[in-house]
């Protein structure tokens, strides 16, 4: 059982790092003028942060931040 718990924690950690990477890439792409790639990274960050779904099963800080990035890139769509 301990091995299964360790694997679950590790998967969560990997997901969290992927979200953070996508959130770091988004403004870099946007600053270079590549809005399409920035938007793709923001959507991927939001999808990864969703986990099993709102309201209780999200990586909340990253989910909210990804939502803010999407609102900035796609005004009126969020």
Structural tokens at position 5: 């718990």
Domain that holds residue 44: 2-73
Residue 78 included in any domain: no
Residue 10 included in any domain: yes
Residue 64 included in any domain: yes
41, 22 Cβ separation under 8 angstroms? yes
Residue 62 included in any domain: yes
Query: What's the pTM?
Result: 0.69
Residue 26 included in any domain: yes
pLDDT score, position 34? 92
24-56 residue pLDDT tens = 888 888 889 998 998 888 888 888 888 877 777
CA 49 to CA 18: how far, in whole Å?
9
Angle (deg, nearest 10), helices 35-50 and 2-31: 160
Residue with tokens 């920035």: 38
Residue 9 confidence (pLDDT) above 70: no
Number of domains in the chain: 1
Residue with tokens 């790092």: 17
H-assigned helices in 1-78: 2-31, 35-50, 60-73
């Amino acid at each position: 059982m301990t091995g299964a718990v360790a694997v679950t924690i590790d998967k969560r950690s990997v997901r969290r790092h992927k979200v953070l990477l996508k959130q770091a890439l988004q403004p870099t792409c946007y600053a270079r003028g590549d809005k399409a790639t920035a938007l793709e990274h923001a959507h991927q960050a939001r999808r990864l942060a969703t986990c099993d779904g709102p309201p209780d099963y999200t990586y909340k800080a990253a989910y909210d931040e990804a939502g803010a990035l999407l609102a900035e890139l796609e005004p009126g769509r969020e």
